[in-house]
Amino acid sequence: MFDSSQKSTGTGYTTTVAFLIVAVIFIPAALMFFDNFGRIAVVLAAVCSVLCLGMAWRSWKTSSQLSIPSIEAQEAPSK
């Protein structure tokens, strides 16, 4: 499954996933626990979610640039 001779493609999605988890899971969970603050908390949570989603998109765009060379077609060995 994991071959040590294979080169890394240069992608790193850890930051992207972390931003998505914060935007989709932690911020709505915080709203459930702190629901007594009213509209200010909802607006701040929405702004934070949008910012996290934007940073996740930006992180994904910058880290999805593959650095592997193009794969050449290999000829079948002659018999």
C-alpha pair distances (Å), 62 with each of 15, 16, 23, 70: 11, 10, 19, 20
Task: Provide the 8-state DSSP code for 5.
Answer: T
In tens digits, what is the pLDDT along the chain, a chain of 79 residues? 455 555 555 556 788 899 999 999 998 888 888 767 788 888 888 999 999 999 999 988 887 765 555 444 455 555 5
Task: Enter the pTM of the model.
Answer: 0.64
CA nearest to 27, candidates 2, 10, 3, 46: 46
